[in-house]
Amino acid sequence: MNLEELISGLENFNKRALAKSITLIESTNSRDQEKAKNLLSKLKPKNHSIRIGISGVPGVGKSTFIESFGLYLISLGKKIAVLAIDPTSPVTGGSILGDKTRMIELSMKEEAFIRPSPSSGTLGGVAKKTRDTILLCEAFGFDVILVETVGVGQSEIAVESMSDFFLLLLLANAGDELQGIKKGIMEMADMILINKADGAGFIQAKNSRTEFENTIKLFKPKNKNWNAPVLAISSIEKKGIDEVWNKIENFQSSQKTYIFEKREKQNEDWIWTNLKSELEDKLAVFKFSEVVKIILEDQTLSSIEKEKKISELFFS
């Protein structure tokens, strides 16, 4: 599909055009990258979506929650996109790309689009081109865009830098949880969900909810006009899912200025991130050029002199 066909497809809710556009965005081919830039520059986002980042400890049930949450949103007449970031092997570079198979019912819905993407070793577990993919999904007209990240930890702050609302999923075992979760990521959460509040874990989840509510009171809120709620839910039994959405809707309606200012700051950050990425790509190619090789092999030059010469050549 050419550029005009991709744009037309995006404007007319053509999932094939969206999938091809994302593939173009993720391509490392220089021609594809140039085409992707042209595509992004011509997009017309509908600006009504909410971007929700989702993270949590391994085994917390992120995919199960996303499916239950997504199906509930569809029942309300919403269209949703799920950008599920899969871990990439540091050895082979391959990724599992299995999130779609764990959301079978949701993936069959016409109103849903699920796109697993390899993290490619990117810091924060968020695929390098996820930000651009979000823009594509907004131009497509999705009401809710969910970004699921790899695991949880300090590096996962990347998802907060590209979302309006950050959800943190935890298990009903406060003592162990607090040991495995960095303070920083809890401070960034706009809402904390204690998942698997069902069966034998129901009472424990309720107790954990109280403990986490007390814990986050000790943190300095990132938004002075919003206190992060803590909910105990069951993704399997679909209990509390409606309350999660009610809280997010309340945030979206009451924090319009905050969301606007946050997106403005994100847009500025994205510009510098993209410029940095372009410089790194060019530097990676320049590193193996013949002229650099000659400088490095010159035994008459000190390491500082070599660095200076290489720098002058690169920026000339």
Distances (CA, A) of 181 to 123, 136, 141, 186, 192: 17, 32, 35, 8, 13
pLDDT value at 118 more than 70? no
Q: Which of 45, 109, 44, 43 is nearest to 82 (CA)?
A: 109
Distances (CA, A) of 247 to 121, 219, 240, 254: 33, 20, 11, 10
Q: Which of 204, 201, 193 is nearest to 245 (CA)?
A: 193
Q: Which of 74, 170, 76 is nearest to 114 (CA)?
A: 74
pLDDT band (50, 70, 90) for residue 137: very high
Could you give the domains of the chain?
1-43 (1.20.5.170), 45-254 (3.40.50.300), 268-315 (no CATH)
Find the mean pLDDT for residues 144-169.
Answer: 79
For residue 113, is it left (φ>0), alpha (ψ between -120 and 50) or beta?
beta
> What pLDDT, on the 0 to 100 scale, is given for residue 252?
94
> What pLDDT, on the 0 to 100 scale, is given for residue 281?
82
Q: Is the pTM of this model over 0.75?
A: yes
> What pLDDT, on the 0 to 100 scale, is given for residue 27?
84
DSSP 234: B
3-class secondary structure, 84: strand
- Maximum average pLDDT range among 13-17, 69-73, 262-266: 69-73
Does an H or E element contain 271, and which? helix 256-286
pLDDT band (50, 70, 90) for residue 304: very high
pLDDT value at 218 more than 90? no
pLDDT band (50, 70, 90) for residue 17: very high
DSSP 150: S
Number of helices (H) and strands (E) in the chain: give both, helices first: 14, 7
Tokens of 117: 């993407």
